Structure 1
Amino acid sequence: MEQQNDTRSQILTTGRRLTARQGYTGVGLSALLKECGVPKGSFYHYFASKEAYGCALLNAFVTEYGIRLQASLAHPELDARSRLFTYFEGWRTKQLSPNPEDRCLVVKLSAEVADLSEDMSSILQKAVSDIIAHLARTLKEGADDGTIAPFDDPKALAEMIYHMWLGASLIASLSHSDAALNSAMDATEALVPAP
């Protein structure tokens, strides 16, 4: 059983690396399995289809990302506003990394899988909803603890900021420039002022 889990994990880890570089549709099963050193016929022992593999890949990423998200937005030694900006500074740094594996798969795959797979799209949508909920909670905590100026609707503000950062990440990928992400940080600072 341990060998089976190791092989499945190896396929997912290798798939994460290749998908970060080539996208989901750019990674063929033959290339993935060759890179892993796994016989082609055994893929279906671990995954019912390429879509099932894609869902497992996204679920693994979302779980890992959720742990990092919780650690940054619930950091016990920082006030809420500092936690929020630490999260976005980490986002900017990762999206500008020369290593594609550092970048967010939600950003990378959202447009690509939206029309390919309802199941994969649902996983990504739930991940986005969870991120926005964390951001909204942090914004409310900042208003409550006095580190963020009062505002009306934390969920609406969290959605607007997240959507802005998602768009900025796509533009940064297209332009190979940090300008859009720097603009997103400036706009976030304007939208979330200290009191």
Structure 2
Amino acid sequence: MAPTTRERLLEAGLEMLLQHGYNDLGIQALLQATGTPKGSFYHYFRSKEDFALQVIDRYMDEVHQGLDAALGDQSLPPLDRARRFFELSREKYRRDGYLGCMLGGLGQELSGINPTFAEKIEGCFGELTQRLSACLEEARQRGDIPLDSDPRELANLLLNCWEGAALRSRLWRDPTPLDQMLDFYFLAATRG
């Protein structure tokens, strides 16, 4: 079944927001890339901001699929499942040319000037943290990380470190910062 006009616009938006950010996303370029008339865009989206917020929702659908695939793999211990999610993300970054995390990029670009985006992106990071902290709580219960660890705090730290490494990976167009961060974090987490 062929994708709808709305789906084509959102898919193109994923790529264009990752490559160009919000401020350099031209609606005309989006319409040309998808062969969509201007009126159709405004049939599906109230504004450029509404469009970008819906692209973030589409991005989060992909993130949740990755979380489900990695964290739901009960054949792996919890720490391996958490690391696997980030390894899957690293693989996606490689396919995208090491452009990093769209949430991180948009957050850096817009969070200080647009409260709507700041709230949306922080909400997305909150969802990630919640899912990761449940997995880290399982690791704590198993004794894989110290019992006095705070899984929510560890999940926030993991996500914060990852976003910083993703930025450096984007700057270098290289996975080394991502790999180094994962090795350091998971070694440190197990030692407490």
TM tier relative to shorter chain: 0.7 to 0.9
CA–CA separation in structure 2 for the residues paired with 1:166 and 1:38: 34
What residue is the counterpart of 1:117 in the other structure?
114
- Distance across 2 between alignment mates of 1:115 and 1:41: 31
Residue 24 of structure 1 is matched in structure 2 by 22
Unaligned 5+ runs, structure 1: none
Q: TM-score, normalised by structure 1?
A: 0.87
- Show the counterpart of 1:37: 35
Partner of 1:159: 156
Aligned 1:1-195 pairs, distance under 5 A:
6-95=4-93, 97-100=94-97, 103-193=100-190
Partner of 2:4: helix, strand, or coil?
Answer: helix
Say if 1:59 and 1:123, in contact at 8 Å, map to a contact too. no
Aligned residues: 192
CA contact (8 A) 2:107 2:117 kept: no
* One-letter amino acid of the structure 1 residue matched with residue 136 of structure 2: L
- Displacement, 1:164? 0.9
Gaps of 5+ in 2: none
Task: Tell me, in whole angstroms, the C-alpha distance in 2 between the residues paired with 1:101 and 1:168.
Answer: 11
- Alpha-carbon RMSD across the aligned residues, in angstroms, is 2.4
1:84 maps to a residue whose letter is: A
8 A contact 1:80–1:141 mirrored in 2: yes
Pairwise CA distance, 1:69: 1.1
1:139-180 deviations in Å (ceiling 9; x for gaps): 110121233343421111111121111111111111233332
**Alignment TM-score, normalising by the size of structure 2:** 0.88
Tell me the amino acid that sits aligned with residue 127 of structure 2.
D
Once residues 177 and 12 of structure 1 are traced to their aligned partners in structure 2, the CA distance between those partners, rounded to angstroms, is 27
Q: State the alpha-carbon separation in 2 of the partners of residues 41 and 152 from structure 1.
A: 54
Structure 1 residues 11-50: Cα deviation after superposition (integer angstroms, max 9, x where no partner): 1111112222222222201110111111123321111111
Bigger shift: residues 140-149 or 47-56: 140-149
